[in-house]
Amino acid sequence: MSDIATYNFAYLDEQTKRMIRRAILKGIAIPGYQVPFASREMPMPYG
């Protein structure tokens, strides 16, 4: 799934990218745990 999402990011505008990233993060993020790949591009509080 993450390969498909990364591939699609190139064709989407910033707002859509953020929406998709949030959905992915909510699906895999554990409270109190930061996902390394997300912290660079989208620094935001988790949990």
The span from the CA of 44 to the CA of 30, in Å, is 14
Mean pLDDT value of segment 9-32: 67
Judged by DSSP in three states, 14 sits in helix
Mean pLDDT value of segment 4-8: 55
**Residue 35 to residues 11, 13, 31, 43, Cα–Cα distance (Å):** 23, 22, 11, 10
Closest CA to 44 of 27, 26, 8, 6: 26
pLDDT band at residue 7 under the 50/70/90 scheme = low
Mean pLDDT value of segment 8-14: 60
Looking at this protein, which amino acid is placed at residue 39? S
Share of residues in the chain with pLDDT > 90 (%): 0
Structure tokens at 47: 């949990």
Q: What is the pTM of this model?
A: 0.31
pLDDT at 9 over 70: no
Share of residues in the chain with pLDDT > 70 (%): 23
